[in-house]
Amino acid sequence: GLVNTREMFAKAMAGKYAIPAYNFNNMEQLQAIIQAVVATKSPVILQVSSGARKYANQTLLRYMAQGAVEYAKELGLEHPQICLHLDHGDTFELCKSCIEMGFSSVMIDGSSKPYDENVALTKKVVEYAHKYDVTVEGELGVLAGIEDDVVAESHTYTRPEEVEDFVSKTGVDSLAISVGTSHGAYKFTPEQCTRNEKGVLVPPPLRFDILEEIEKRIPGFPIVLHGSSSVPQDKVAIINKYGGQLKDAVGVPEDQLRKAATSSVCKINIDSDGRLAMTAAVREVFANKPAEFDPRKYLGPARDSLKELYMHKITDVLGSDNKI
Ligand code: G3H
Ligand code: 13P
Ligand code: NA
Ligand code: ZN
């Protein structure tokens, strides 16, 4: 069945790699994820956001994820390591409901609350979740928010002096931190970036100094990076070529994620890159085959493109291939 993150993270820590956490809310995304992990013999975290639950229905998502374990076996992976995780849970009730629904891991994101409230809420979720062997991810520090394609606020980086107190008081199994990533396809404004010789935007580096400070205080404790899409410029170019309008979309360079994966970072969240890959593939079919109207003829190529992207992240960036 589905597994929690405990053993996954212990192995990732020891082996100096990171597990991908891919968001899903439909069948093609899930198929692509499972095909990619079977092809690479790797563990994976399937993430469901509140928005995904609203979009796809939690019961359907739950059985899809449980079915994914059987699907992986059918495809030839004898012992799949698949975790079903709630992404950005914001209340105790939501986490409880997901645990009742069969999730094997939850995130309680109290990062925007005052410190003491974050501690109290996270602790409450941990106490409940651990009774059911469900692991819990907490968060300290706030990722920059995006509004209407504009980076609206600046980051509140994680304060290293808080992490030890937080993990010991709450009992969380992993900690999401803020070291310069943000959600979506516009992680950095052009003003925050420099341009290379080709005129391509180069974002400021992640704050590895803060990560190292955190590692010193809680050595061997699993760290999570949200907002870790790289916004592949070839996908952006295809989207724009076929009628899209993505201007100055910038992500986290893969080299930085490669480096992060060798550290205490055990989970790297990627959603936006998958959205870009699907959209690029669908736009391409629509542009080149305007007479096509069978959804399988555009969702199929989108699925293939997603699988390729997921495999690339696993083998070329996170290093989680051949671990099962
Ligand atoms: O953290 C954000 C994830 O990419 C999920 O996005 O809330 O639009 O489903 P969503
Ligand atoms: P991206 O938007 O960078 O893909 O981040 C996804 C994420 O952090 C989900 O929790
Ligand atoms: Na790691
Ligand atoms: Zn996130």
Q: How far apart are CA 103 and CA 2, in angstroms?
A: 8
Q: Are the beta carbons of 211 and 263 closer than 8 angstroms? A: yes
Q: CA nearest 265: which of 304, 211, 227, 305?
A: 211
pLDDT score recorded for residue 146: 54
Please spell the DSSP secondary structure of 5-59, one letter per residue.
SHHHHHHHHHHT--EEEEE--SHHHHHHHHHHHHHHT--EEEEEEHHHHHHH-HH
Mean pLDDT, the chain, rounded, equals 96
Return the best residue to mutate from 105, 174, 183, 224 for the ligand 2 pocket (most ligand atoms within 8 A of CB).
Answer: 183
Return the best residue to mutate from 22, 23, 224 for the ligand 2 pocket (most ligand atoms within 8 A of CB).
Answer: 23
User: Where is 281: in which H helix or E strand?
Assistant: helix 272-288
Q: Which CATH fold topology does 6-318 show? A: TIM Barrel (3.20.20)
pLDDT score recorded for residue 149: 47
The ipTM estimated for the assembled molecules is 0.99
| Domain map (residue ranges) of the chain | 6-318
Q: How far apart are CA 256 and CA 118, in angstroms?
A: 29
Radius of gyration of the chain (CA): 19
Q: Are the beta carbons of 32 and 23 closer than 8 angstroms? A: no
Q: pTM for this one? A: 0.97
List, for the chain, all residue ranges whose pLDDT scores fall below the cut of 50: 147-152
Residue bearing the CA closest to ligand 1, atom 9 = 51
Whole-Å CA distances, 60 to 53, 54, 57, 64: 9, 11, 6, 6
Whole-Å CA distances, 288 to 1, 21, 38, 278, 294: 42, 33, 31, 16, 14
Q: CA nearest 21: which of 13, 143, 29?
A: 29
Q: What are the residues facing 182 on neighbouring strands?
A: 144
pLDDT score recorded for residue 154: 64
Ligand 2 atom nearest to 228, measured from its CA: 3
Q: What are the residues facing 202 on neighbouring strands?
A: 194
Q: CA nearest 172: which of 223, 231, 98?
A: 223
Q: Reduced to 3 DSSP states, what percent helix, strand and coil does the chain have, rounded to the nearest 5?
A: 50, 15, 35
pLDDT score recorded for residue 112: 92
pLDDT score recorded for residue 79: 98
Report residues whose beta carbon is within 6 angstroms of any ligand 1 atom: 23, 49, 51-52, 87-88, 183, 271
CA 253 from centroid of its chain's CA atoms: 15
